[in-house]
Amino acid sequence: MQDVDVAEVGRQLAAGEESALAEAYERWSRLVYTVALRSVATQADAEDITQAVFISAWRSRASFNPEAGNVPGWLLAITRRRIADHHRKRRDEVPLDNAPETSHDAPDITDQVSVADEIDELGEPAGQIIRLAFYDDLTHQQIAERLNMPLGTVKSHIRRSLLKMRARLEVTHAAAL
């Protein structure tokens, strides 16, 4: 999935290349849609939000600065605004007494989905190593045996991958400001 690098998609999008929106959709619609699904009540609402996010992204592409941010972080910032709008509209429709008291500010959802997306983009064997460490709870020795790799290679993949995920979280947080 790493054909064109993230920064290049951003530059093309800012320049108004239509194909860049299609590329952005292919790469990050799961990110946007999954965050939306976990933040609103129905699948139909999540679909509407996903649609609105990419339409907004296209319309406001001129305001995207490819030097200062990356596309997934920017899309998530738009997603959060759309989700907040959605909940605000809902609240306005419901009489105040019946309005549910919920917190719609859910950075943990965007964090989790961002990290899942980053793991997806790690490439192999890093992605597989992280999956085995995270979800199968294998130690690095067990991973090394299973994949028939030197211990040092496994360790360095683990470290580099964790740093990539951390960097992704930092970008996600920066874009939220």
Partner 1 sequence: MQQHCDSEDLALLALGEPVDPACEEHVSACPQCSAELADLRQVVSVGRASGGPDALESPPPRVWAAISDQLASEPVPLKRPDTAPPRRRWTGLVAAAAAGILIGGGAVAVITGQNTPETVVASAQLAPMPDGPDRGGSAEATLNRTDSGYTVTVKASGVAGPEGFYEVWLLDPENSGLIALGSIAAGEQEATFPVPDGVDLDTFNAVDVSDEPLDGDPTHSTVTVLRGTLEA
Toward partner 1, which CB reaches closer, 25 or 101? 25
Q: How many CA atoms lie within 13 A of 166 on its CB side?
A: 6
x/- site string to partner 1, residues 134 to 173, per CB under 8 A?
A: xx---xx--------------xx-xx--x--xx--x----
As a whole number of angstroms, the distance between CA 95 and CA 98 comes to: 6
Instruction: State the minimum distance, in angstroms, from the CB of residue 136 to partner 1.
Output: 11
What residues between 52 and 71 interact with partner 1 by CB under 8 A? 52, 54-56, 58-60, 62
Toward partner 1, which CB reaches closer, 44 or 101? 44
Alpha-carbon torsion angle 1, 27, 166, 153, nearest 10: -10
> Interface with partner 1 includes 128 (CB under 8 A)?
no
Contacting range for partner 1; rule: CB under 8 A; set: 7-15, 26-34, 67-75, 93-101: 26-34
- With contact defined as beta carbons under 8 Å apart, do 52 and 82 qualify? yes
Instruction: Give the Cα-Cα-Cα angle 79, 52, 43 (nearest 5 degrees).
Output: 80
Cβ contacts of 108 within 8 Å, gap of 6 or more = none
As a whole number of angstroms, the distance between CA 99 and CA 3 comes to: 46
Name the site residues for partner 1 (rule: CB under 8 A). Answer: 18-19, 21-22, 25-26, 29-34, 37, 46-47, 50-52, 54-56, 58-60, 62, 108, 111-113, 115-117, 119-120, 127, 130-131, 133-135, 139-140, 155-156, 158-159, 162, 165-166, 169
